[in-house]
A and B are shown apart, each in its own frame.
Chain A
């Protein structure tokens, strides 16, 4: 965990919460933000964009460790500026229902997707 700031964590949390609200899934995520949460959420966004058949929302980490700094960089570069007008609510809901558990587990620091295998690998 290098160079991440509380501001970056807050930005990611707000994006996750906006995504939950967009998908009308409650309760809205309210856990701690860490690298694993950022990675899981990046995967969720990727799956949502594939389902919605829009161009790839989230470029792969490409040399950066998938985590807070990587996702915060995407946010700062405006990668998600128009996201909610492009993705499907139905798709977002499906992805959240599928990945909610992993997101919560990552936030609690108890487990990670499918026993630890990164989907970006």
Chain B
């Protein structure tokens, strides 16, 4: 009977430890810029701001732009998989942070500084905890950074396939480009593997 009770208590302790440590909040990890897995067959250049992608019919079924302030560039990978590119000015993106006393620990002088801050281990203060919660870091599985030349991409990765958030930051740009929605590893490779920063013609 004594052994049985100790076994039960031990199992409960292990379970409690597992619950507490089952989800450690991610910190920022550097990743290698992806190479496109496939050759570009019949690719069409699709440009969103200065971001030029080479997309083939096997990558994307449909591209949609709606004439609305918040619609952005919609990419349909199949009838159920959709992601959207949107843009926001740096000032607009950080306005709420700058206006809030509770979020005054968050650096907002540059987007890179901001996204780097989010990637630091959770500090024991409510400000950084709130910022990481609001930006989805606290519930993410990974927080990844890719860099190529003047472009950095910060990927807040979720276990939910439809809940991916990627932020594209160009050095010295006043705009932040966000890709949100269904972004798989293959989709990411297809979009980013053949991505170039170009002038707007």
Contacts and interface: CB of A to CB of B under 8 A. Distances in A.
Interface of A: 24-27, 47, 50-51, 88, 90-91, 93-95, 97-99, 101-102, 104-105, 108, 110-116
B66 interface: yes
Nearest to B180: A97
Nearest to A112: B96
Nearest to A44: B70
A99 B69 CA distance: 12
A106 B103 CA distance: 13
Nearest to B178: A97
13 contacts: A51-B68, A90-B66, A90-B71, A94-B71, A94-B86, A95-B70, A97-B178, A98-B88, A99-B70, A101-B134, A102-B96, A111-B100, A114-B96
A26 B136 CA distance: 11
Nearest to B93: A101
Interface in B129-166: 130, 133-135, 139, 160, 162-163, 165
Given A24-B162, A104-B134, A115 B69 contact: no
Interface residues of B, number: 33
Contacts of B100: 105, 110-111
Nearest to B88: A98
Interface centre among B97, B99, B162 (most CB of A within 10 A): B99
* B contact patch SS: mixed
A91 B86 contact: no
A25 B163 contact: yes
Contacts of B181: 93, 97
Given A47-B69, A95-B70, A104-B134, A26 B163 contact: yes
Given A90-B66, A105-B134, A97 B96 contact: no
Contacts of B74: 90, 94
Contact of A51 (B70, B96, B133): B70
Contacts of B198: none
